[in-house]
Amino acid sequence: QPPKSRKPAKPSSPCAQSSRTTSVLVPIFCPLLRGATLSSHHPSLHEPRAPSALHLHKMSTNFRDRAIAEVQKAIAADHNKEYQKAFDLYMSSMELWVKALKWEKNKALKATMQEKMATYLDRAEKLKQFLQAEADNTNGGKGLMGANGASTGGKAKGSNDDDDNKKLRNALSGAILQERPNVRWEDIAGLEAAKETLKEAVVLPIKFPSLFQGKRQAWKGILLYGPPGTGKSYLAKAVATEANSTFFSISSSDLVSKWMGESERLVKLLFSMARENKPSVIFIDEIDALCGPRGEGESEASRRIKTEILVQMDGVGNDSKGILVLGATNIPWQLDAAIRRRFQRRVHIGLPDINGRARMFRLAIGDTDTALQSGDYNTLAAKSDGFSGSDISNVVQHALMRPVRKILQATHFKAVMKDGSRMLTPCSPGDPEQIEMTYDDVKSDELLAPDVAIQDFEVALEDSHPTVSKDDVEKQVDWTNEFGSEGA
């Protein structure tokens, strides 16, 4: 152990790092190295050489060729002093070498490959030491992940841990909504069952805590799923507005860090902050990006994040009362089964029915002046079967822009009176009161846009198509029949 007063010197180069006999990386691959001696098969101060032509000739299988190509890229990055890239490429090549060894039957060739692996692995270890030391000096002690997944870089002092926690807290503080989105329950067309479920989980436990005693407990996890554009995120905004609670709005990018081991800490800290600010709602949009199904292609980092989310949602060792996890996804069948179980209520947010679409047209138009009659909304709803709420908003925007296009294309205007003022509005060249001019000739305070008529909406509908396919709808219905419930 060096004296405590000595400060570690900043390394000048990864080549200056001495090779340690007990490498953190070696145990990962030691069953395959079978006693290959690292110190006797590599240059100590130089990057390893690329495989020779003889080796290229012998290593003709797919995995060997790919491993060699990856090593050559690593060596090139090493020469260019792109050490992080070189380290990643060396480690990527190790996976390919392992697969090549698995299928190789020639003992002599396997021995050669093991020697090469030892060389590249040793070089990767030197790069790792250098990158860790640099991280200590420039990033508050953050390091790369060791063999067991724990951070091997950085200083294990409490003060540094506190500094790290402060940084992570500051990063997550941006996810807390400081201002309410101003979306009310009545602003959402249809989805009555979904709204009732959310009221049961969020509003009633806060307003009437006496209702939820003993075995009757509020929902801890609710999953909103359905095709894109049906109102899942909009429902979450309504929860943030209506619920008198701390609202955390999280996306997958908020919880994924480039530093190994930090993503799990972010998840743990998120739930810790939610417990400190109870009652609270954690809304995780596109949760499938974090909690996909387990499989051979899954990375270790992904598994660790998922495990931490599972532990936190279970509330093991912590009081999770007063915390609701609200998840949203377009592809619920891509969720891990264990995550699916943590969501006690799984509510399908499907495409709106005819009454819902009529209401959506009214909400999307709002207080904009139009020439629509009451019955026109039902006509538009009947012609928009299969459209999502987002699709209807686009149709309305398209229709509302048509008067603007008429102004841009007009070659004649006519004078009309509105509220006692003379205004100019586009007209046809055959109009008896027409004046030949373009919009450039009209003063800004004299321009009167044409009314938006039912014909504008019909043209907009003809130019638009639903964004949700029938296959997607069928998948959602099948999953609902097996695991979920309707939110309409």
User: Do the Cβ atoms of 257 and 290 come closer than 8 Å?
Assistant: no
On the question of pLDDT at 433 being above 80, the answer is yes
Cα distances from 333 to residues 255, 317, 347, 360, in angstroms, run 22, 30, 13, 28
Residue 19: predicted pLDDT: 42
Same-domain pairing of 186 and 286: yes
Q: Does residue 9 sit within a domain?
A: no
Mean pLDDT (whole number) for 302-317: 79
> Is the pLDDT reported for residue 41 higher than 50?
no
What tens digit of pLDDT does each residue of 190-223 get? 888 888 888 888 888 878 888 888 888 888 888 9
pLDDT band at 42 (very low <50, low <70, confident <90, very high): very low
Q: Work out the average pLDDT over 63-92.
A: 86
82 domain-assigned: yes
Range 118-142 average pLDDT: 73
What average pLDDT does the chain have?
78
Q: What is the average per-residue pLDDT within 48-74?
A: 66
Are 134 and 52 in a shared domain? Answer: yes
pLDDT of residue 137: 63
| Sign for the pseudo-dihedral over CA of 95, 100, 105, 107 | negative
User: What is the model's pLDDT at position 311?
Assistant: 85
User: Does residue 294 share a domain with residue 306?
Assistant: yes
**Higher model confidence: residue 411 or residue 5?**
411
Tell me whether residue 239 is in a domain.
Answer: yes
CATH number at residue 267: 3.40.50.300
Is the model more confident about 151 or about 455?
Answer: 455
Mean pLDDT of 129-144: 61
Confidence of residue 25 (pLDDT cuts 50, 70, 90): very low
Residue 33 has pLDDT above 50, yes or no: no
Domain annotation covers residue 52:
yes
**Nearest to residue 466, comparing CAs of 390, 358, 365?**
390
User: For 153-181, how does the pLDDT look when each residue is reduced to its tens digit (9 = 90+)?
Assistant: 444 444 555 666 777 777 676 667 666 77
- For Cα atoms 365, 367, 369, give the angle at the middle one, nearest 5 degrees: 85
**What is the pLDDT at residue 319?**
67
Residue with the larger pLDDT of the pair 433 and 3: 433
**Amino acid 150: pLDDT:** 35
Which domain CATH number covers 423?
Answer: 1.10.8.60
Same domain assignment for residues 337 and 395: no
Check pLDDT > 80 for residue 246.
Answer: yes
Domain end marker among 351, 367, 384: 351
Residue 63 clears pLDDT 80, i.e. is over it = no
Same domain? For 308 and 370 the reply is no
- Same-domain pairing of 329 and 377: no
**Which pLDDT band holds residue 260 (cuts at 50, 70, 90)?**
low
Do 290 and 363 share a structural domain? no
Query: What's the number of domains the chain is made of?
Result: 3
Least confident stretch, 44-53, 214-223, 383-392: 44-53
State the amino acid at position 252 in one-letter form: S
Domain boundary among 351, 386, 402: 351
Examine the domain organization and report whether 228 and 342 are in the same domain.
Answer: yes
Residue 111 included in any domain: yes
Q: What are phi and psi of 113, to 5 degrees?
A: -65, -40
> 342 pLDDT exceeds 60?
yes
Domain that holds residue 31: 14-143
- Residue 142 in tokens: 């953050």
| Whether 378 and 423 share a structural domain | yes
Buried b (16+ CB within 10 A) or exposed e, 228-247: ebbbbbbbbbbbbbbbebbb
Considering the domain boundaries, does residue 155 fall inside one?
no
Cis ω before 279 (30° cut-off from 0): yes
**Residue 426 shares a structural domain with residue 296:** no
In a domain, 5, yes or no: no
More confident residue, 322 or 328: 328
pLDDT value at position 40? 35
Please give the residue that has the higher pLDDT: either 473 or 135: 473
Residue 184: its pLDDT value, please? Answer: 86
pLDDT given for residue 280 in this prediction: 85
Q: Are residues 122 and 241 in the same domain?
A: no
pLDDT higher for 426 or 47? Answer: 426
Per-residue pLDDT band at 361 (split at 50, 70, 90): very high
Over residues 98-125, the mean pLDDT reads 81
Specify the DSSP element, H or E, that contains 485: strand 485-486
Is 324 inside a domain boundary?
Answer: yes
Residues 183, 275: Cα–Cα separation, whole Å:
25
Give me the pLDDT at residue 461, please.
Answer: 94
Any bridge partners for residue 246, and if so which?
Answer: 280
- At residue 163, the pLDDT reads 66
Determine the average pLDDT of the residues in 304-312: 85
> Which band of pLDDT confidence, cut at 50, 70 and 90, is reported for residue 186?
confident
74-78, 166-170, 185-189, 336-340, range with the lowest pLDDT: 166-170
Domain check: are 183 and 239 in the same one? yes
Asked if the model's pLDDT at residue 401 lies above 90, the reply is yes
Query: Which of 351, 379, 406 lies at the terminal end of a domain, its last residue?
Result: 351
